[in-house]
Each structure stands twice: as structure tokens, then as C-alpha cells.
Amino acid sequence: MPEPKPTLVCYFDTPADLFHACEKLRDTGIKHFDAHTPFPVHGLEKAMGLKPTKLPWIVLACGTTGLFGATLMQWWMSGVDYPINISGKPAAAFQAFVPLSFEVTILLSAFGCFFGLWGLTKLPKFYDPVMKHPSWHRATDDKFFVSIEPAEPKFEEARKILESLGAHEMVEVEP
């Protein structure tokens, strides 16, 4: 196999600088880059040209499953499999099924949301090259990092752009 290429990592001081940098990279048609920030910088996805996430659809699917699954289960268990006269009410009394169906809907939606999140973000991923950057510890503190992935064809172009914008500690980290 070809020997693995390094990743380029550097950082800016303010969200604003990062924002401009990302816009630049995006406009130059650079795809394989990422921003690492201590908190979500608003509008950055536009600056990076990212598509919206599919998470809501996953949650919707789970929620619907929960709703119908729970209702169906209650109907079958108390109405079909073993109907019992309880307080003179009909065996399958849908009025009584509402609360439980609701709760299960929420529960499954929540699971969908939780696992969907980690699924889409491919976490947990304990090791990542960018963490090798000597000042990485500030990425979760007060600095705003940019990383150019080795897969990026316009790798060198990206480096120039970042240099021009005065990125700090431009380091190539081994994969």
C-alpha cells in the first residue's frame, strides 16, 4: 500500500478568522477539510458548505415504530391473546392505551436520536490524527482549528490559503 499521507492542522484565534478561512476554502472548492471548535460556531456549516443532517428522518422512523408498535402490542395482548373483563370495560379499550403508546413513542425516538447521533458522527472514535497537534488541547478550550485531510487533491492550495490568512502553528500530523 502507498505510505499514508499526513493531515494538515492549524488554528485561528477567533471564530471570525475561522469563519473567513472556511469561506475561502469552500470558495476554492476544497472539500476534504474540517473545523474543530470548542463550541458550535453559528453559520459555520454554510461557510464550510455542508449539507443538513439526516438525523430527523431517523428519529421520525423510530418514533412511528414506537407509536404503532406500542398500540398494536397493547391491543393484541389485552384484546386478542387474553381478553379479560376488567372493571366492565371492553378488553381492547384504546382510550386506556394512549399514555403508554405516547411514552414508548418518546422512548424510541430518544433512542433513535441518541444512537443516530453517534452513528452519523461515527463516534466513538478515540484516536484521530488531528489530536496529535501540539496545541490540540486548546481546540476544546479557546482556539479554532482547521484540518485539511490527506485525501484533499488541492492540499497544497489549501496550505497556501491558510498561511495567507495567518493561521498559527501549521503542523502536518502523521495519520
Per CB under 8 A, which of residues 44..103 are in contact with other proteins? 44-45, 47-48, 50, 52-53, 55-56, 59, 73-74, 77-78, 81-82, 84-90, 93, 95-97, 99-100, 102-103
Q: How far is CA 128 from CA 17, 20, 35, 44, in A?
A: 24, 25, 14, 22
Of 2 and 42, which CB lies nearer to other proteins in the complex structure?
Answer: 42
28 binds other proteins (CB under 8 A): no
Neighbours of 66 (CB within 10 A): 22
1 binds other proteins (CB under 8 A): no
* C-alpha closest to that of 134 among 171, 174, 175: 171
At 17, the amino acid letter reads D
* C-alpha closest to that of 50 among 28, 26, 27: 26
Q: How far is CA 82 from CA 59, 73, 87, 111, 114, in A?
A: 33, 12, 15, 30, 36
**Near other proteins in 138-157, by CB under 8 A:** 138-142, 145
> Do the Cβ atoms of 144 and 12 come closer than 8 Å?
yes
Instruction: Report in angstroms how near the CB of residue 71 gets to other proteins at its nearest.
Output: 10
123 binds other proteins (CB under 8 A): yes
Pick from 1, 2, 3, 40 the residue near other proteins by CB under 8 A. Answer: 40
Instruction: Report in angstroms how near the CB of residue 126 gets to other proteins at its nearest.
Output: 4
Of 10 and 59, which CB lies nearer to other proteins in the complex structure?
Answer: 59
Inter-residue long-range contacts of 51-57, CB under 8 Å, 24+ positions, other chains counted: 53/120, 54/120, 55/113, 55/116, 55/117, 55/120
12 binds other proteins (CB under 8 A): no
131 binds other proteins (CB under 8 A): yes
Of 104 and 148, which CB lies nearer to other proteins in the complex structure?
Answer: 104
Using CB under 8 A, count the residues that bind other proteins: 77
